[in-house]
């Protein structure tokens, strides 16, 4: 059942993104930024934890989980170090994921050409 719930959640998020992409003039970068913001907003409202209960690992796959991670890291940094902790903890927590995406993008770009 966990696999089905994960498939439903990730499929629904992907479907929403595709519908927005097909029916608006927003670019994939705009949609990605919007989904990160939505993930942070859902985390702020306490709804992202319910998504985690529903789909377990499936909620960590879409880009909305990055917004959830940013929000939780900033909140933890605020509680431990104050206002400065918001930025320092957020960057510390997410630096591994950001670094990995840059490195993997570089490696992939060495093997494939972009479409014009």
- How far apart, in whole angstroms, are the C-alpha atoms of residue 45 and residue 23? 28
Does residue 71 fall inside a structural domain?
yes
Residue 50 included in any domain: yes
Q: How many domains does the chain have?
A: 1
Distances in whole angstroms, Cα of residue 75 to Cα of each of 30, 42, 43, 72: 25, 14, 11, 5
- 21 found inside a domain: yes
Q: What is the pLDDT of residues 72-99, one digit of tens each?
A: 999 999 999 888 888 888 888 788 888 8
* Cβ contact 77:85 at 8 Å: yes
Among residues 12, 18, 95, 111, which one has the least CA distance to residue 59? 12
What lies within 8 Å, CB to CB, of 49 at 6+ separation is 43
Residue 44 forms part of a structural domain = yes
Position 116 scores a pLDDT of 63
> Is residue 88 a part of any domain in this protein?
yes
Q: In terms of residue numbers, what domain contains 24?
A: 2-111
Asked if residue 116 is part of any domain, the answer here is no
pLDDT of residue 21: 93
In a domain, 57, yes or no: yes
Question: Are the C-beta atoms of residues 67 and 38 closer than 8 Å to each other?
Answer: yes
Residue 42 near residue 91, CB atoms below 8 Å: no
What sign for the dihedral angle of Cα 108, 18, 32, 75?
negative
Q: Label residue 57 by pLDDT band (50, 70, 90).
A: confident
Whether the pLDDT of residue 35 is over 90: the answer is: yes
Residue 107: per-residue pLDDT: 93
- Domain annotation covers residue 91: yes
10-25 pLDDT tens trace = 899 999 999 999 999 9
């Amino acid at each position: 059942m966990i696999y089905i719930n994960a498939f439903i959640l990730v499929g629904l998020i992907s479907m929403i993104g595709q519908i927005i992409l097909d029916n608006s003039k927003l670019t994939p970068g705009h949609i990605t930024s919007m989904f990160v913001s939505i993930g942070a907003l859902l985390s702020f409202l306490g709804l992202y934890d319910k998504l985690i209960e529903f789909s377990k690992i499936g909620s960590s796959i879409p880009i909305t989980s990055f917004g959830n991670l940013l929000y939780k890291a900033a909140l933890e940094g605020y509680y431990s170090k104050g206002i400065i902790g918001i930025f320092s903890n957020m960057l510390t927590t997410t630096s591994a994921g950001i670094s990995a995406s840059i490195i993997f993008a570089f490696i992939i770009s060495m093997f494939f050409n972009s479409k014009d």
